[in-house]
Every structure is written in structure tokens, then in C-alpha cells.
């Protein structure tokens, strides 16, 4: 990347972050909350893109990482008094990383559809455990808790308002994007892309492909867990539905709609999907999934590179 490209990137990044930071100051409460959730789901989609777009592994297990992040944060907030924000983040990330490592150890030995099905099976196993272990997880009723403040209990704590919560989420998502961008452009990220293009050749030139896949799944799971922690803090609620495979399916849809292998595309796809679902549900009520499905099929056929790819082609013209 040239110095001009680098400067253009940082200018564009700063403008977008500034606009998102100003959003809660001008938006009504519903849309302020909605934009914050778009950022959280965008982070989950970005974490999935590390596998789908850069490693060539389609994962249907991200709901497990996301849900364990939610429950890990909930456990920290319910078991420790006064509730500690940093402990909630640490426990949520630890739970997601542990589960991601366990899933990666078995699933990365497989390829293509077998990898996808294995991750789906693991996510459903964790869903059944959480749904049936009612004495700990609350089962179908879930868990409710109080959002902690920002700071160290006993010293200095600032209570979150909807606006400051939005800024906190924005800061975490922006930093996560920069970290993921650095990972994908590093030598490690180049090896992941080599695995995506030709796994056999990558193995033949001396790289231990399975080790790289395990690390990729764990990194992806940690960022998915971070999205789960943010969702728990935002909504003060944990439920078994967050571990259900539908969350993984929607995450894949975000990637396809926005543009696979771009990091930014999944965020765009999450925003487009959530806005479209919100608009269609107001007009078609319980039948909104029908037009939503038709639009998704049309996008897959006519815009296979997603919204970001379509925008790039249009600008190049």
C-alpha cells in the first residue's frame, strides 16, 4: 500500500468513526440503540469473515462463540459484587476462546462442507447444554443482570448512558477492525489466504496448515465472543437463543450481502440486512421473511461480490 493509499484509508476511517460517534447526538432513542446493535453484529460478522473470506472456511459455529461471550459476561456480572466491567470482558473472552479452541481442535482436521457441518454440530451441542441447564443458565428464560459502570469499583466508576454505551461499543469495534486488518495483512494473514487459494500447495511448501487453521478459528472465536460481551452489556440480558444456529446463519448472510474477504463488507452487510428486516417487518409483519429471502437470492445472483464489490465496480466505471 502506497503512502497515498494509507493516507486515504486513515482519512476515510476517521470520517466514518466521527459520523458514527455523532449519531447518538442526533438520532432518537430507538435508532440510537439500533445503530449500536448494528456495530455489535458487524463485529460478529467481521470475526466470521476472518474464516470465510480469508481462510476459506465456512463456519456455522459462530453462534457458540457469540453466545458463550454473552454468558461469560453474564456470569461475571452476576457472581461478583460490585459488578466489574473488565472482569466481564475477560471472562466472556476466555469462555469464547476456550470453546473456539475445543471446536478448532476437532473441526480443522476436516475440509469444506465437513468443516461447516462439524462447527454446526458443536454449536447445537452447546445450545442444548445451555437450554437444558436451567439452574445455571436460566434455560429459555435466560438471565438478567445490571450493566456495570466504566472504571474500577471502589475507586472511580462512570455509569453508562445510552450515548456513552454507543461510544464504548464504537471504540471497541473500531479497534477490533484495525487489529483484524493488521492480522489479515501480516505474514500470518498471507498464509491464511494461501490456504484459501490452494491448501495442498501451502502444505507442500512447508506450512503446518492445521496449526494455522486452529489459530484462525480461535482468533475468530475471540472476536465473536467480544461481540457477545458487547451485546450482553448493551441489552443486560443473556438467552439460549444467542447460541442457536440461526445466529450463525445470519452471520454468513451478513458476509455474503456485504462482501466476503473485505472486513468492511460484513459490517455493511449487517447494516443492510438489519435495516431491511426492520423496514419489511413493519409492512409485512410476520411474512417479512418472504420478501427478505427474495431480495437475498437476487443479490446472490446479480451481486455475487456483495454490496461493497458492487460499489467498487460502479465507482470504477
Mean pLDDT of 66-72: 92
Question: Could you say which of 3.40.50, 1.10.3470, 1.10.10, 1.10.540 is the CATH number of the domain covering 26-270?
Answer: 1.10.3470
Q: Is the per-residue pLDDT at 1 higher than 80?
A: no
Question: pLDDT tens across 104-147, in order?
Answer: 988 888 888 888 899 999 999 999 998 888 888 888 888 888 88
For residues 71 and 237, the answer to whether their CB atoms sit within 8 Å is no
Maximum Cα–Cα distance across the chain: 60
Residue with cell 494455522: 212
54 confidence band (pLDDT: 50, 70, 90): very high
CB 123 within 8 A of CB 248: yes
Domain locations along the chain = 26-270
Is residue 225 a contact partner of residue 40, using CB atoms and an 8 Å limit?
Answer: no
* The model scores a pTM over 0.75: yes
Amino acid at each position: 500500500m502506497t503512502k497515498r493509499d494509507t493516507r486515504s484509508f486513515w482519512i476515510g476511517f476517521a470520517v466514518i468513526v466521527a459520523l458514527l460517534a455523532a449519531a447518538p447526538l442526533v438520532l432518537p432513542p430507538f435508532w440510537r440503540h439500533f445503530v449500536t446493535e448494528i456495530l455489535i453484529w458487524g463485529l460478529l460478522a467481521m470475526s466470521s469473515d476472518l474464516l470465510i473470506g480469508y481462510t476459506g472456511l465456512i463456519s456455522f459455529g459462530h453462534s457458540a462463540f457469540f453466545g458463550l461471550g454473552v454468558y461469560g459476561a453474564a456470569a461475571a456480572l452476576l457472581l461478583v459484587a460490585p459488578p466489574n466491567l473488565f472482569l466481564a470482558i475477560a471472562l466472556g473472552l476466555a469462555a469464547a476462546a476456550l470453546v473456539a479452541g475445543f471446536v478448532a481442535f476437532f473441526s480443522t482436521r476436516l475440509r469444506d462442507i465437513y468443516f461447516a457441518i462439524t462447527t454446526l454440530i458443536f454449536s447445537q451441542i452447546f445450545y442444548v447444554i445451555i437450554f437444558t441447564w436451567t439452574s445455571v443458565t436460566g434455560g429459555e428464560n435466560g438471565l438478567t443482570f445490571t450493566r456495570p459502570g466504566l472504571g474500577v469499583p471502589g475507586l472511580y466508576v462512570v455509569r453508562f448512558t445510552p450515548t456513552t454505551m454507543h461510544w464504548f461499543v464504537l471504540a471497541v469495534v473500531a479497534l477490533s477492525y484495525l487489529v483484524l486488518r493488521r492480522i489479515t495483512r501480516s505474514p500470518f494473514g498471507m498464509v491464511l489466504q494461501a490456504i484459501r487459494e490452494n491448501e495442498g500447495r501451502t502444505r507442500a511448501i512447508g506450512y503446518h496448515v492445521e496449526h494455522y487453521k486452529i489459530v484462525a478459528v480461535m482468533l475468530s472465536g475471540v472476536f465473536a465472543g467480544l461481540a457477545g460481551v458487547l451485546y450482553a452489556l448493551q441489552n443486560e440480558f443473556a438467552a439460549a437463543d444467542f447460541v442457536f444456529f440461526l445466529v450463525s446463519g445470519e452471520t454468513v448472510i451478513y458476509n455474503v450481502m456485504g462482501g466476503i474477504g473485505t472486513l468492511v463488507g460484513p459490517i455493511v452487510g449487517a447494516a443492510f440486512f438489519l435495516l431491511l428486516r426492520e423496514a419489511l417487518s413493519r409492512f409485512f409483519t410476520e411474512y417479512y421473511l418472504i420478501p427478505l429471502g427474495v431480495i437475498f437470492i437476487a443479490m446472490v445472483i446479480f451481486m455475487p461480490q456483495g454490496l461493497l464489490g458492487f460499489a467498487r465496480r460502479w465507482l470504477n466505471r
